């Protein structure tokens, strides 16, 4: 099983992936001041809850993506603890199957890179991915597998929470799917504006992207808040809540070093014998030649 770690602004998602299938996903809070040891305590609790007494949970490797640099090192240390190996850390330097067509590849959120890499490998091109989380992000990959960039907007819950915090007469509203565009009270007006507004945003941005590309694009939507929005969208789309975890599994397969039974890389013993003959055998052959 592969351990996949997605460090987001709000939560850290832990996934167990076997043969490309997501076996489980668990989450813990993103706390920027936690040490590796403190994160291990939380991870031990999560793994213990999912461990079968007769089948201990074992990870053969790990892959990690992060948008919170302060704790990337701590979680990478945790990954090494559970696997005994250095994790694959997502960056523009690793193999993704994409060509970066943006001004600053290192400034692209690593989670965006993961989504784009998986979508480009598994959906018709060009493809647009949308991740509805703390921020709403669009990623565009053209027909030549070039990552062209995208769009970043405030997340659905981020905007809704800001209204309640910054506007004295507006309450905090629980997320849900609005029944109509026209709200009949303050709460339903806010819900319509946030949720239906995000659906219209997806439709409109996708249309503008297609106009700039000059052709239709496949739209793939993911993220924890997508379930509220996708039923209200009019643009054809695919909803895949496991897009990022699947993408991490793909990048692990593309970049993890191959390990053989017995640990480490397999040595070419024949090559070593040819290059370094045993000195005693060579001296014995020389003595026999002189005597003969």
Instruction: Provide the annotated active-site residues.
Output: 111
Burial class (CB in 10 A: 0-12, 13-18, 19+), 277: exposed
Tokens standing for 83? 């696997």
Interhelix angle 36-50/69-83, nearest 10 degrees? 50
Q: Find tokens 């793994």 and name the residue.
A: 47
Q: What is the largest CA-CA distance in the chain?
A: 111
**What is d(CA 208, CA 221) in angstroms, rounded to the nearest whole number?**
17
What is the separation of C-alpha 251 from the centre of its chain, rounded to a whole number of angstroms? 9
Lookup: tokens for 96: 């993704």
Nearest-angstrom CA–CA distance, 199 and 234: 8
């Amino acid at each position: 099983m592969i351990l996949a770690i997605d460090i987001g602004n709000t939560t850290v998602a832990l996934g167990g992936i076997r043969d490309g299938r997501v076996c489980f996903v668990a989450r813990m809070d993103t706390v920027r001041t936690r040490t590796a040891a403190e994160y291990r305590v939380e991870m031990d609790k999560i793994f213990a809850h999912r461990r079968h007494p007769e089948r201990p949970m074992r990870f053969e490797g790990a892959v990690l993506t992060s948008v919170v640099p302060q704790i990337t090192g701590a979680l990478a240390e945790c990954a090494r603890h559970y696997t005994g190996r250095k994790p694959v850390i997502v960056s523009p330097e690793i193999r993704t199957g994409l060509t970066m067509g943006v001004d600053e590849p290192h400034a692209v959120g690593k989670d965006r890179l993961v989504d784009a890499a998986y979508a480009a490998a598994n959906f018709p091109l060009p493809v647009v991915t949308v991740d509805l989380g703390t921020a709403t992000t669009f990623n565009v990959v053209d027909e030549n597998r070039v990552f062209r960039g995208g769009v970043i907007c405030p997340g659905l819950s981020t905007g809704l929470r800001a209204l309640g915090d910054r506007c004295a007469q507006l309450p905090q509203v629980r997320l849900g799917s609005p029944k109509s565009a026209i709200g009949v009270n303050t709460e339903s007006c806010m819900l319509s504006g946030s949720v239906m507004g995000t659906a219209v945003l997806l439709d409109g941005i996708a249309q503008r992207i297609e106009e700039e590309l000059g052709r239709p694009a496949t739209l793939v939507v993911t993220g924890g808040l997508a379930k509220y929005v996708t039923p209200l969208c009019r643009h054809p789309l695919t909803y895949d809540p496991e897009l990022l975890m699947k993408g991490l599994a793909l990048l692990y397969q593309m970049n993890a070093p191959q390990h053989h039974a017995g640990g480490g890389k397999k040595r070419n013993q024949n090559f070593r014998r040819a290059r370094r003959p045993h000195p005693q055998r060579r001296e014995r052959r020389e003595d026999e030649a002189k005597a003969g």
